[in-house]
Amino acid sequence: ASVQFWAEPKITDILLKGNFRPIPKVDSAVISLQTTADRLQQNNSKNSKLLAVDSKQYYNFIKILFKQPRKTILNNLRYMTNNLQLLKEKLELLKIDINTRPQDLTLSQIILLSKTFKVSP
Binding residues: 1
CA 65 to chain centroid: 9
Distance, in Å, from the CA atom of 109 to the CA atom of 97, rounded to the nearest integer, reads 11
Q: Could you count the other beta carbons within 10 Å of the beta carbon of residue 67?
A: 13
Distance, in Å, from the CA atom of 45 to the CA atom of 57, rounded to the nearest integer, reads 22
Binding site for S-adenosyl-L-methionine: which residues?
A: 1
Q: Report whether 52 contacts 35 (CB < 8 A).
A: no
Cis peptide before 22 (omega within 30 of 0): yes
